[in-house]
Amino acid sequence: MADEEEAKIESRLEGKDIYSPPEGFKEQANVNDPEIYEYAEENYEEFWADKAERLDWYEKWDEVLKWDPPHAEWFVNGKLNASYNCIDRHVKNGKGDKTAIIWEGEPVDETKEYTFSELQDEVSKFANALKEMGVEKGDIVTFYLPMIPELAIGLLACARIGAPHSVVFGGFSPEALKERINDAESEVLVTADGYYRRGGTIKMWENAEKALKNTPSIDNVVLVDRMERDIEINEERDSYYHELVKDQPAECEPEKMDAEDMLFLMYTSGTTGKPKGVVHTTGGYLTGVSATHNWVFDIKDDDIYWCTADIGWITGHSYIVYGPLANGCTTLMYEGSPDYPEKDRFWEIVEDYEVTKFYTAPTAIRLFMKWGEQYPNEHDLSSLKVLGSVGEPINPKAWKWYHEVIGGGDCPIVDTWWQTETGMMLITPLPGITDLKPGSATKPFPGLRADVFDSQGDSVDTNEGGYLVIKRPWPSMLRTLYQEPERYVETYWSEYENDIYFAGDGARKDEDGYFWVVGRLDDVLNVAGHRLSTMEMESALVDHPAVAEAAVVGKPDELKGQVPVGYVILESGNEPSDELAQELRAHVGEIIGPIGKPAAIRFSDDLPKTRSGKIMRRILKKLEKGESAGDTSTLRNPDIVKELKDKVQ
C-alpha cells in the first residue's frame, strides 16, 4: 500500500444534472419503493433468501450465509442445477414455446431462434455427448468459440452434468488459450473452424491447433463447423459437433449440484504473473445474477433483451446466458461487429426484433457518437425501455448522448459497476427508484455495503477520492482463485481487514452517497505529487464538442514524475491543428484544474483496441516510455500501433 500522501486520489469531475425516473416507468417498475434499501440493509440474509426462492431447489439450504472472512458459503447444503433453472423449469411451467435465444449472425439474414423446449433438447444432446466422451462431474471443459448458439448451449450442457466450464475469449491468442487450458487441466476443448468478422473470416481452428501442440491434458476436441471449411483434423482426437449430437437422446437428467459446487472458472488478467482463475459457484451466483438482471433491467415477460457483450467475458456469462435465462427472458446474441455491413447494424437489429432492454459498453457508445446521429436516426428505436452501460465508467457526454439519441430522452440508463470477481452488478441504479447522475453508477444494490477508503482503512470525506471497497459478502462473489488460495487472499482481502474486499478501483462518494468510479488504480497518474484519474481527464477531453473519443496515459517526466498525454479521435468535420490541441489542453485545465492539463495531445484516426472494442492503454503507455508495444496479436487494428509510434517520436 502506498503511503498516506500518495494514496489520495484527487477526483475532480462534477455531476450537475439529475434525471429522475419517468412517472409512467416508475408506476410499472418491478421495484418502485425506496424502502427496499432499508429493509435489505436490516434483513440482509432474509433479503437474499427471498431472492434465492425465485429459483427451483431440489433441497433447501440449512443456512443462508456462512462467513468466515474472507471465505463465504451461501445457501449451505442447498441443492439445485443451473441448467434446470435456466431451461427445464420454464418448460415445466408452460413456457416451452417461448423464445429463449435469438441469434443473429454477422452475415445479414443468417438467424436462428430457439424456444425453451428446443433449447432443452439441444442442451441435453450435447450434455449426453460430453458424458459419452467421458466428461464427469467436476471435470473442467474449455470453450474457445465465437458468438454462436453452440457456446450458450455448451455452457448449459456443462452445467447440466456438473462439469465446470472455462470460456476463453475467441479473440485471444494461441498462447493465451494454451495457458488457460493447462492451468485448468482440461481434457476437452470445444472450438470452431472460424467465424465472420467485418465481412472477412477469422480462422479460429489454426489458433486452436497452435495451442493444442502444448496442451498434454486434452484428450478430445469438439469442432463446430461454423464456416464449413475443408480442414484437416486428427480423427483420433477431434470430432465435429453436429456429428456428435445428431444421434444423442434429447433427454438428460440434470445433476443435483451443491450450492457451493463450482459452476465455472473464468480467467482474468493479473497485473503480474499468470492470469487469475476466478471460481464461481452455483447457488449464490445464480441467485445474484437472476435477481440483479430482474430488478436492474425491470424485466417483463414480453421483453426482448440484448446484451452486446461476448460470452467470452463475465458480462456475457452473467447477463447473456445465466441471468436472463434463469428469469425466463428472451436473450439476443449477435456474432458480428456494430459496423458491418453498415454503421447502423445495431440499430437495425433493435428495430427488427423490437428490443426493449439494451446493455452495451461505453467504448461502443463513444464509437456510435463518433459515427454520428444519422445512423440510429434511420431506425425506429421506440421499443427501447431501459438502456444499460457496463465495462468501465461512462463519461457524462456519452451518457447524455446515449440518453437522448438512443433512448429518446425517455429511457432510464443503468450505469453498472461490477467485476469478473463479483459475478453480478454491485453498484447500479434501480430504474424505477433512482435519480440518475450522468457518469455515476449511483448506489450499491440493496443490502450491499460499499465505501471509499484511504490507505489507512478509514472512510474518506465526501468528494474525496480513495479506494473502492465492499464491506459485506454477496451471493455471487468469487470463492477463491483456482489452485491459488493464498493469491485469492493476498489479491482481494489483504489491503485492509480480511472482511473488506479490495476492488482495485479508485472512486469517490458525493454528498448524496452516489459513487463515482474513476477507473483502475493502475490508471491513476502521479503528477507532481497529485494522484489524478486518467478516466476523469478522458471525460474532460470528450466533453469538448470536437472530440469523439480519448485515452489518457502517463509519460515519464524528470520534474513531475509523470505528465498526462492525451490521444484524441476527433468528431467528423474537425481537423487536427496546434490551435485545437491548445484549446483541448485548456479545456481539460478548466474542468480538472491546471495540474490535469495534458502535456501533449496526439491526434489519431483510431486507437489500439481489442476485438471487443476496449482501448489497450498499456500499449500507449509503452509507446510513451519508448518501449516496444509487445504482443499486438489480439488487436483488431494492429497497424495503428506503428502510426502512433511515429507520432510519439
What CATH number does the domain containing 553 carry?
A: 3.30.300.30
Distance of CA 431 to the CA centre of its chain: 20
**For a pLDDT cut of 90, what percent of the chain falls above it?**
76
Q: pLDDT, tens digit, for every residue of 568-591?
A: 999 988 999 999 999 999 998 887
Note whether residue 47 is domain-resident.
no
Q: Are the beta carbons of 242 and 65 closer than 8 angstroms?
A: no
| Span 141-160, average pLDDT | 98
More confident of the two residues 263 and 391: 263
For residue range 112-135, list pLDDT tens digits in order.
999 999 999 999 999 999 999 999
**Domain span at 601:** 528-648
pLDDT at 328 over 60: yes
The pLDDT of residue 1 is above 50: no
| pLDDT of 611 strictly over 60 | yes
CB 491 within 8 A of CB 419: no
Among 18-27, 255-264, 472-481, 557-566, the range scoring the smallest mean pLDDT is: 557-566
Q: Give the three cell numbers for residue 497.
A: 481487514
The 3-class SS string of 4-30 reads HHHHCEECCCCCCCCECCCHHHHHHCC
- Which runs of consecutive H residues, i.e. helices, occur in 372-464? 374-377, 396-401
CA atoms in the 13 A half-sphere facing the CB of 621: 12
Q: Span 443-467, mean pLDDT?
A: 94
Rounded to an integer, the average pLDDT of 153-179 is 93
Q: What is the dihedral of CA 369, 371, 372, 378, to 10 degrees?
A: -120
CA dist 20 → 12, 386, 430, 435 (Å): 24, 13, 11, 4
Q: What residues have CB less than 8 Å from 125, skipping those under 6 apart?
A: 245, 248, 249, 250, 252
Cα distance between residue 384 and residue 304, in whole Å: 9
Q: What is the mean pLDDT of residues 151-162?
A: 98
Between CA 356 and CA 385 the distance in angstroms is: 5
Whether the CB-CB separation of 67 and 77 falls below 8 Å is answered with no
Task: Tell how strand 304-307 and strand 357-360 pair up.
Answer: parallel
Q: Residue 157's pLDDT is what?
A: 98
Q: Is the per-residue pLDDT at 30 higher than 80?
A: yes
Check pLDDT > 70 for residue 4.
Answer: no
Q: With a cut of 90, say whether residue 524 has pLDDT above it.
A: no
Determine the pLDDT at residue 230: 87
| Cβ contacts of 65 within 8 Å, gap of 6 or more | 45, 48, 72, 73, 74, 76, 473
pLDDT-based confidence at 12, cuts 50/70/90?
low
Among the residue ranges 165-169, 171-175, 275-279, 482-486, the one predicted with the least confidence is 171-175
Average pLDDT on 409-437 reads 97
Q: How far apart are the first and last CA of the chain?
A: 34
Q: Is residue 276 part of a domain?
A: no
The residue type found at 559 is: L
Is pLDDT above 90 for 225?
A: yes
The pLDDT tens digits of the residues spanning 617-630 come to: 889 988 998 888 87
DSSP assignments along 130-170, one per residue: HHHTT--TT--EEEE--SSHHHHHHHHHHHHHT--EEE--T
Amino acid at 102: I
Average pLDDT, the chain: 92
Q: 641 pLDDT exceeds 80?
A: yes
Burial classification of residue 636, based on how many CB atoms lie within 10 Å of its CB (0-12 exposed, 13-18 middle, 19 or more buried):
middle
Residue 131 to residue 479: CA distance in whole angstroms? 27
- What nine digits make up the cell of 261? 459446487
Amino acid at 134: G
Residue 78 has pLDDT above 90, yes or no: yes
Look at residue 14 in the predicted model and tell me its pLDDT: 60
**Could you give the CA distance from residue 206 to residue 212 in angstroms, rounded to a whole number?**
10
Mean pLDDT is lowest, of 172-176, 209-213, 564-568, for: 172-176
Lowest mean per-residue pLDDT among 67-76, 137-146, 203-212, 522-531: 522-531
Looking at the structure of the chain, the number of domains it has is 1
State which of 158-167, 539-548, 582-591 shows the largest mean pLDDT.
Answer: 158-167
**Assigned domain for 284 exists:** no
**Section 21-27 average pLDDT:** 93
pLDDT band at 518 (very low <50, low <70, confident <90, very high): confident
Does residue 266 fall inside a structural domain? Answer: no
Q: Which residue in the block uniquely carries the three cell numbers 476437452? A: 188
Average the pLDDT over 366-395 and give the result: 94
Say if residue 295's pLDDT is above 90: yes
| pLDDT for position 580 | 96
pLDDT at position 273, please?
Answer: 58
- Residues 411 and 385 sit within 8 Å (Cβ to Cβ): yes
Task: Check: CB of residue 392 under 8 Å from CB of residue 363.
Answer: yes
Q: Examine residue 176 and state whether it is found in any structural domain, yes or no.
A: no
The mean pLDDT of 614-642, rounded to a whole number, is 83
In a domain, 30, yes or no: no
3-class secondary-structure state, position 622: helix
In the predicted structure, residue 604 carries a pLDDT above the cut 70: yes
Q: What is the pLDDT of residue 6?
A: 42
pLDDT at 85: 98
- Look up residue 566 and give its amino acid: G
Q: What is the mean pLDDT of residues 41-60?
A: 98
Distances (CA, A) of 183 to 141, 143, 263, 334, 449: 12, 14, 17, 30, 34
pLDDT above 70 (res 633): no
Give the start-end residues of each E strand in 487-641.
501-509, 515-520, 524-527, 530-533, 547-557, 561-570, 600-603
Q: What is the pLDDT of residue 318?
A: 98
Q: Is residue 11 part of a domain?
A: no
Assign 520 a pLDDT band (cuts: 50, 70, 90).
Answer: confident
The whole-number pLDDT of residue 10 equals: 62
* Contact present, 306 and 350 (Cβ < 8 Å): yes
Contacts of 490 (CB under 8 A, 6+ apart): none
pLDDT for 271 equals 47
What pLDDT is stored for residue 2 in this prediction?
40
Q: Is the pLDDT of residue 269 over 90?
A: no
Choose among 550, 507, 557, 500: nearest CA to 529. 557
The C-alpha cell 488487436 sits at: 635
pLDDT score, position 480: 98
Distance, in Å, from the CA atom of 154 to the CA atom of 209, rounded to the nearest integer, reads 20
Q: Is residue 218 part of a domain?
A: no
Q: Which residue has the higher pLDDT, 573 or 326?
A: 326
Least confident of 335-349, 362-376, 513-527, 545-559: 513-527
Detail the DSSP E strand segments found in 250-307. Answer: 257-258, 262-268, 276-281, 304-307
